[in-house]
Amino acid sequence: MLDFLPKELQSMLLSRFNYSEINEIRIRVNKPIIVTCNTKQYFLNMENSLSLKNSIYATQEMIDNIIFKSSEYSIYSVNEQIKKGYIMVKGGIRIGLCGSVVYNDEIKTINKISSLCIRIPHQIKNVSLPIFNHVISGGEPNNVLIISPPGAGKTTMLRDIVFQLSQKNYPYNVFIADERGELSDCEHDMDLGMFNDCLKFLNKKDSFLLGLRSMSPDIIVTDEIGGEDDMLAIEYIINCGVKVFASVHAKDVYELKHKQTFKRLLDNKVIDRYVVLSKENGVGTICGVYDNNLNRIYGGV
Amino acid sequence: MFFLIILFVMLFGMIGYGVSKSYINRKRFFFNFDLFLLDIKSGIEFSSKKITQIIQSETYTSKDFKNLLKNYLESLDGEISKEGLFQNVCVLSEQEKTFVFLFFKNLGRLDVFSQVDEIENFYITNKKYYEMASIDAGKYQSLFTKLSILVALIIVIFIV
């Protein structure tokens, strides 16, 4: 899975850490490489500790080669992704980029890349079981919004909800609008069940419309909504009789309330259930489930 | 006897042609490189195809160019070197090798705009190399063939 990394780095990582526990790898030019494993951060060194001693330092050449390899030796072919600040590689791994933006009325590209944030997704089966009866109540799906800060397991939760629908024989046609290609890496390892169709790398608005027209979905699943366009698109598809499972970055429902773009969605009580996650007791800790009036109906921690 | 003389002259003619073959192969190499640059450019601009897909989907007539592409694909996981890239490619001069090497060194490492610009620049220069190789091939191919037939005839005259 990590074959876009230099061989030495790859073998060091896999000998020091259990792949299924690695959440994130941070590579910054002339800085030590940091690995996040089960929410704890480690310098990549021979001691597998927080100690800086014997840490592996990243070089510009190393970063350039990682980008080259992760683009399958064709950086030009991933320019649209680079413009959005990331590159997707097989396995749903997202490499976030920082460097010099080439801007001329719009972002043309990012070059002189100096930092990489490699996020490794994992399918954790049954993680959604504690809240599943809030996702489907009375045999009917609700409109569900998963709320959490970055890296707290939103995407994993969404993925498992889709998987559980299939496991529990709910034959809903699920359309996955996967703008960043993180949710639905169906061709590699990730099992999302039998009833889903994935559309990758298209913005949510166009993706929803395309899915609505072509795939007749019962449920649309999408990750990380946030912009005004996303809200309008969600309202539109809900008014078309399609249910939505989505996720958003926020600490809790109170923080969500302060997001201007969500005001309409909250006021119109479009979402039936809000599921709040945190990293309190590890990634994916369920802090609570809230109804459309933002009353807590399931305790969590 | 007459039949043997004809055979002898033809043999020398073929040797002469064989000697001039490297000039034809050089011309063919630059012709293939020219096609390759056009393929790559359209692949990048219109279909965003990966380099490996473009290389593997095309068929080239130059054995040297095919060897070069094979060496390039093999070098992708490691570091590309001039020696490695031109293994079994023996029709180019040092200057020509440097020109081709510079192209492959940056291939796939640039953003879409810079990559297309780079291809266009190399396309223009390659045209010049191709023209030079065509002139050389035309000139030396007929020269070597004629020269070897002439030598054969002289030998025949001396023998007879």
Average pLDDT, chain A: 88
By Cβ distance, the residue of B76, B111, B113 closest to A73 is B76
- Between chain A and chain B, how many beta carbons pairs sit less than 8 Å apart? 46
Strand locations in chain A (E)? 22-28, 34-37, 40-43, 86-89, 93-104, 106-119, 136-137, 140-141, 144-148, 174-178, 196-200, 219-222, 243-249, 273-278, 285-290, 296-298
Would you tell me which residues 216-235 of chain A have a C-beta closer than 8 angstroms to some C-beta of chain B? none
Using a CB-CB cut-off of 8 Å, the residues of chain A touching B111 are 75-76, 79, 82, 102, 108-109, 111
B27, B134 contact by CB (below 8 A)? yes
Residue from A5, A70, A77 to probe the interface with B (highest B Cβ count within 10 Å):
A77
CB of B44 within 8 Å of any CB in chain A? Answer: yes
Decide if B81 contacts B75 (C-beta within 8 A). yes
Whether residue A186 has pLDDT greater than 60: no
What residues of chain B, 85 to 104, have a C-beta less than 8 Å from chain A?
none
**Dist. CA A136–CA B92, nearest whole Å:** 70
Token pair in block for residue A172: 């809903």
Q: Of A236, A164, A224, A225, which Cα lies nearest the Cα of A196?
A: A164
Distance of CA A219 to the CA centre of its chain: 18
| A71 contact B CB<8A | yes
- Mutation for A interface: B40, B51, B57, B118, most A CBs within 10 A: B51
State the pLDDT confidence band at A142, using cuts at 50, 70 and 90: very high
pLDDT at A187 over 60: no
For residue B118, the model assigns a pLDDT of: 93
pTM of the model: 0.78
- Number of CB atoms found within 10 A of residue A225's CB: 22
Do A76 and B50 make contact, defined as CB atoms within 8 angstroms? no
Distance from CA of A67 to the nearest CA of B (A): 8
Percent of chain B with pLDDT over 70: 99
Collect all residues of chain B within an 8 Å Cβ-Cβ radius of residue A76: 44, 48, 108, 110-112, 115-116
Taking CB atoms and an 8 Å limit, are B52 and A68 in contact across chains? Answer: no
Phi, psi (rounded to 5 degrees) for B17: -65, -40
Residue B35: predicted pLDDT: 92
Interface contact A169, partner B, CB < 8 A: no
| Contact call for residues B60 and B28 (beta carbons, < 8 A) | no
Please state the ipTM of this predicted complex: 0.79
| SS3 assignment, position A55 | coil
Distance in angstroms (rounded) separating the CA atoms of residues A174 and A140: 14
Contacts of B108 in chain A (CB under 8 A): 68, 71, 73-76
d(CA A137, CA A60): 52
CB A280 within 8 A of CB A287: yes
**Closest by Cβ to A73, choosing from B44, B52, B113:** B52
User: Is B135 touching A (CB cutoff 8 A)?
Assistant: no
- Tell me the average pLDDT of chain B: 86
Render pLDDT for A75-101 as a digit per residue (tens, 0 to 9).
Answer: 999 988 999 999 988 888 899 999 999
The residue among B59 and A142 whose pLDDT is bigger is A142
